[in-house]
């Protein structure tokens, strides 16, 4: 039995749902942030992130795959020229959904879905130092997994005395700073 799609069903038919999600994705990439119902935002998030992943690959095949969903060529160009390269150093989590006050007319749960426009803390640190973390370098250098390479890169990291906070932890620290 196929696994059902996570989240609410939208519209009156599968084709209506596809159209609504495609239009939402187009608007999101066009404007960077859109206000919609929470159910729609939650359905849009995985779709939009898949499209961004395709745009990061950036070849003609992926562009055609994206064109299946986002039919506006200007938006697809923006996605491949600006949005995809911006997220080059972020592995997933390209969008953010924040709940807002319910809508006046029907009290529907509303949310703002936006493209994350900050760089990750690790990416900023790497840009400042001009180097990468030992674990990232070793992962890039040797997918073959030679033990000698890893030990060398570990030594270099120790020499630099680089802060090796994991991505998630450092992001939450940022949030704490902003609150003050």
Partner 1 sequence: MAVPKFKKSRSNTRKRRSQWKATAPTLVKCSNRACREQKPPHIACPSCGQHAGRQVVEPA
Strand, helix or coil at 33?
strand
**Per-residue string for binding with partner 1, 47-86, x by CB under 8 A?**
----------------------------------------
Taking the complex as a whole, how short is the minimal distance between the CB of residue 102 and partner 1, in angstroms? 9
Q: With contacts defined by CB under 8 A, name the span among 62-70, 96-104, 139-147, 158-166 that binds partner 1.
A: 96-104
Is the Cβ of residue 3 or residue 117 nearer to partner 1 in the bound state?
A: 117
CB burial readout 134-169, b (16+ within 10 A) else e: beebbeeeeeeeeeeebeebeeebeeeebeeeeeee
Contact with partner 1 (CB under 8 A) among 15, 128, 143, 178: 178
* Residue in the structure block whose two tokens are 């390269």: 85
Q: With contacts defined by CB under 8 A, name the span among 98-106, 133-141, 147-155, 161-169 that binds partner 1.
A: 98-106
Q: Please provide the DSSP assignment of 87-140 as one string.
A: TTT--S--EEEEEEPPPTTT---EEEEEE--S--HHHHHHHHHTS--HHHHHHH
Establish if 101 lies at the interface with partner 1 (CB under 8 A). Answer: yes
Establish if 117 lies at the interface with partner 1 (CB under 8 A). Answer: no
C-alpha 74 chain-centroid distance: 20
Neighbours of 121 (CB within 10 A): 19
Q: What six digits make up the tokens of 119?
A: 């760089």
Taking the complex as a whole, how short is the minimal distance between the CB of residue 112 and partner 1, in angstroms? 6
Contact with partner 1 (CB under 8 A) among 19, 112, 152, 162: 112
**What is the spatial distance between Cα 34 and Cα 102, in angstroms, rounded to a whole number?**
15
Contact with partner 1 (CB under 8 A) among 4, 143, 147, 175: 175
Establish if 15 lies at the interface with partner 1 (CB under 8 A). Answer: no
Per the CB < 8 A criterion, the answer to whether 140 and 149 are in contact is: no
Is the Cβ of residue 143 or residue 172 nearer to partner 1 in the bound state?
A: 172
Point out which residues bind partner 1 (CB under 8 A): 35, 98-101, 112, 175-180
């Amino acid at each position: 039995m196929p696994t059902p799609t996570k989240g609410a069903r939208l519209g009156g038919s599968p084709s209506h749902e596809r159209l609504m999600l495609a239009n939402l994705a187009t608007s999101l990439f066009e404007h960077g942030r859109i206000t919609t119902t929470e159910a729609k935002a939650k359905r849009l998030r995985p779709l939009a992130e898949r499209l961004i992943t395709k745009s990061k690959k950036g070849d003609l095949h992926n562009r055609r795959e994206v064109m299946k969903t986002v039919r506006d060529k200007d938006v697809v160009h923006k996605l491949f020229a600006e949005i995809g390269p911006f997220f080059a150093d972020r592995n997933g989590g390209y969008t953010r959904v924040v709940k807002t006050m319910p809508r006046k007319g029907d009290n529907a749960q509303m949310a703002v879905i936006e493209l994350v426009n900050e760089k990750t803390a690790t990416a900023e640190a790497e840009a400042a130092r001009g180097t990468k973390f030992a674990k990232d370098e070793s992962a890039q250098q040797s997918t073959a997994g030679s033990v000698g390479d890893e030990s060398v890169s570990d030594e270099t990291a120790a020499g630099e005395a680089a802060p090796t906070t994991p991505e998630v932890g450092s992001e939450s620290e940022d949030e704490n700073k902003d609150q003050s």
